[in-house]
Amino acid sequence: MNSFSLLRQASVIFLVVFAAGQVAAEASKDIDEIVVTADLRGRTIEELPASISVIDAEQVDALAVQHFEELINVVPNLNWSGDGHRARYFQIRGVGELEQYQGAPNPSVGFLIDDIDFSGIGTIATLFDIERIEVLRGPQGSRYGANALAGLVYMQSVQPSAERNGRLQLSAADDDAFSAGIAFGGALDANERMLFRLSAHHYQSNGYRNNTFLGREDSNGRDETVVRGRLHLQPNDAFDINIAALYTNVDNGYDAFALDNSYTTLSNKPGKDAQESIGASLKLDYFGLAHMTLTSITAFADSDIEFSFDADWGNGDSWDPFTYDYISVNDRKRKTLSQEFRLASDGNESFDWLVGLYALRLEDELITINRGDYVNPFFDFADGLDDQFGSAYESTSVATFGQLGRKLSADTRLSIGLRVERRSADYNDTAALSANPSETMTGGEISLSHDHSDALTSFVGLSRGYKAGGFNLGIVPDGRREFGEESLWNIEAGIKSAFLDDSLRINAAVFLSRRDDQQVRTSFQLVPGDPASFVFFTDNAAQGDTLGFEADMQWQISSEWQIYANVGVLDANFDEFVTPQVDLSGRGQAHAPRYTFAAGGAYHHASGWFARIDVSGKDEFYFDVSHDQKSSAYELVNARIGFETDSWTAHLWARNLLDSDYAVRGFFFGNEPPNFPNTLYTRLGDPRQLGITFDKRF
């Protein structure tokens, strides 16, 4: 079945369900109202004039096992770069980084956990005791500024409740996978003004690789631990205090690439993809002002990150009689401290406003070590590499922002947002490069929404996002040392609808984006035969255009049956872009598949038995901008069956049930002596896994 047939079938399913929703009998269960936490004013998903996906705790437990990367295929027009063991680089509507080895952090997709900024380092996005995940697509210029050019991913852990409760979860699966987690919380005082919640979880598995040279099945293994804590205080009716803290230690191996693009590796020095982070946030809401609320959000994070790999992916036996042995080690330390103040009107039927100040301090230190040897005995040729590079980056961002909302009539609302941000940075490295860039950037949006009925709302909006410029390191083409700020203009129109007493919800949006001075990161290999000699540099394309569509549907047909369907369509191209190596003019952008889809259904019997099946897929996409190699389109099937009572659940599950092979990252270069022909090397996603999970609620 070809890709377009699959897309047509997904569209037909969506339209049939939509039509059925207009005439179906009254459903017996409503879908809960969803308030978007990442929105500055906390509006419902129906009120927010933007394309957004919200995955609640029930869906997280039903659709994933351990990490956010397992949910990416469910979200329309969201992709990720498998450049490490876990997903940490995301692309929304084709916009986002594929990797970062050196230089200043400059993410296009914001990533927050409980208001703690982990943009560009999303390795720690484990899912135990997560209450909801929100994915805001499109530029978030007035809400989150320079780190959210493409959009934002916001994860929120389970909030404390007055009732004493908790859960115990145990899971086991093939690949020698095992996990255990516990969470509990409740009130600390009789007046229920002090609420807490604590959780801890550990996961381990072998990582789906068999290193036949070392005789190991765990060289790509997973070892992931997270501890979360939350405290909710209400000292009086005027104050509301929320404290969130986390410690996470992801200590994963990294042995993901094989010379034959299989799950069998030959590396003699497998690496690591590890991140240890501690972070906390403090949110204060004060309601004592007349007709206004003052909000303060303070957050910090401290992360140690190691990313290392066997650069030649082989061993002495692989290359005999040649000597060919390279490694790369990257040690990064990143600290962030942010402070935000908001003053918002209590709102009324015709007018509301919000103003705020924001400051972010970021420190990033990096040490990179590249070592290796290449000896060709037939030509008496020898070459070696022993290079150490260090850099230090500090930046301070200060922004002021505001939003105005005006009701033009009983059914029509106008919303305007604006943000002005000033970023100043200091950078120096061991290659004697020093830079002190600073710039002022502006973003915002204007939108109009209209209630056609209680069941249908439409909206149209124009928004502008921005991303700071920067500089390139090392050897780069003439005139490419610095690159400028990028801006993204986005016009979007859509609908939010709820039928059958809110049991059927359908949201859809069409958008057109234009990226001016588009930043594109490309690379080339300086020395053939040296896999560690890649130079990465960023340049500004003249312009890039994207046209797309997104839709999602949830239908609670009855108390027993529930179905959903999500679809994204994307046409993202470079208008004009030429580098010393490639001409990308007219070509599609990297990691921007023309379609993504997900659909599934669940059945719950009154006796407690349940089953569900989920199908997701995406079209082929270019792996990078430095070559024209593509992935293959693929589809994945997940399934679950189990039994549930009021206090416990047990279920069997299967991920990638049909054991499909699919690539999440690809490189095209010469890596095999003596001729080093350019070859496509791909990293495969996880194969089939079968497991069982027991969840006890108390």
Report the candidate in 670, 534, 628 with the shortest Cα–Cα distance to residue 101.
534
| Among 298, 263, 301, 304, residue whose Cα is nearest residue 281 | 298
Task: Transcribe 187-232 into DSSP letters.
Answer: ESSTTS-EEEEEEEEEEEE--S-EETTTTBS-TT-EEEEEEEEEEE
Taking only the tens place, the pLDDT of each residue in 329-353 is 999 999 999 999 999 998 777 889 9
Select from 42, 48, 18, 8 the least CA-distant residue to 137.
Answer: 48
Q: How far is CA 235 from the centre of its chain?
A: 36
Cβ burial, residue 687 (10 Å; 0-12/13-18/19+): middle
Q: List 525's β-bridge partners, or say none.
A: 534
Q: Which residues pair with 307 in a beta bridge?
A: 273, 330
Which two three-digit tokens encode residue 86? 């876990």
The DSSP element (H or E) to which 14 belongs, if any, is helix 3-23
CA distances, 580 to each of 426, 478, 626 (Å): 29, 10, 10
Say what the pLDDT of residue 280 is: 98
Q: Is the peptide bond before 321 cis (omega within 30 degrees of 0)?
A: yes
Across the beta sheet with 52-56, the strand order is 52-56, 130-137, 151-157, 109-113, 116-117
Phi, psi dihedrals of residue 61, rounded to the nearest 5°: -65, -30
Distance of alpha carbon 158 from alpha carbon 129, whole angstroms? 6
Spatial distance between the Cα atoms of 130 and 179, rounded to a whole number of angstroms = 16
Return mean pLDDT, the chain. 90
Which pTM value belongs to this model? 0.91
Q: Quick one: pLDDT band at residue 2, thresholds 50, 70, 90?
A: very low
**What letter represents residue 409's amino acid?**
S
Q: What is the DSSP letter of 35?
A: B
Q: What is the DSSP letter of 410?
A: S
CA distances from 534 to 504, 530, 629 (A): 51, 8, 18
Distance between CA 354 and CA 81 in Å, rounded?
36
Assign domain 3-697 one CATH number from 2.130.10.10, 2.60.40.10, 3.30.70.20, 2.40.170.20.
2.40.170.20
Following DSSP, what letter does each residue of 220-267 receive, concatenated?
Answer: T-EEEEEEEEEEEE-SSTTEEEEEEEEEEEEEEEE----TTSSSEE--
The alpha carbon of 607 is separated from its chain's Cα centroid by a whole number of angstroms, namely: 38
pLDDT at 30 over 60: no
Which is higher by pLDDT, 256 or 82? 256
Instruction: Evaluate whether 653 touches 638 at the Cβ level (below 8 Å).
Output: yes
Q: Which residues contact 482 (CB under 8 A, 6 or more apart)?
A: 437, 469, 470, 471, 472
Q: Is there a cis peptide before residue 674, judged by omega within 30 degrees of 0?
A: yes
**Residue 469: per-residue pLDDT:** 86
Whether 435 and 425 have beta carbons less than 8 Å apart is answered as yes
Q: Above 50 in pLDDT, residue 3? A: no
pLDDT band at 248; cut points 50, 70, 90: very high
List, for residues 359-371, the tens digit of each pLDDT value: 999 999 999 999 9
pLDDT at 17: 39
> Residue 519: is its pLDDT beyond 90?
no
* 462-503 tens-digit pLDDT: 999 999 888 777 666 666 777 888 999 999 999 999 999 989
> What pLDDT score was predicted for residue 633?
97
- pLDDT(218) > 90: yes
Chain CA centroid to CA 423, Å: 24
- The pLDDT score that the predictor gives to residue 575 is 83
Contact predicate 685/664, CB 8 Å: yes
> How far is 136 from 455, CA to CA, in rounded Å?
22
What ranges do the domains of the chain cover?
A: 3-697
pLDDT at 625: 86
Cα–Cα distance, 470 to 338 (Å, whole number): 21
Could you tell me the two tokens for 8?
């047509």
Which pLDDT tens digit goes with each residue over 252-306? 999 999 999 999 999 999 999 999 999 999 999 999 998 899 999 999 999 999 9
Q: Are 129 and 183 in contact (CB under 8 A)?
A: yes
What percent of the chain lies above the pLDDT cut of 90?
74
Closest CA to 56 of 70, 76, 41, 36: 36
Report residue 464: phi and psi, to 5°.
-130, 125
Integer CA distances (angstroms), 653 to 64, 328, 688, 689, 692, in order: 10, 37, 11, 8, 6
Task: List, as one string, the DSSP characters of 320-344.
Answer: TTSEEEEEEEEEEEEEEEEEEEEEE
pLDDT tens for each residue of 158-192? 999 999 999 999 999 999 999 999 999 999 999 99
The C-alpha torsion from 58 through 64 and 66 to 69, rounded to 10°, is -120
Residue 523: predicted pLDDT: 67
Task: Provide φ and ψ at 122, rounded to 5°.
Answer: -80, 15
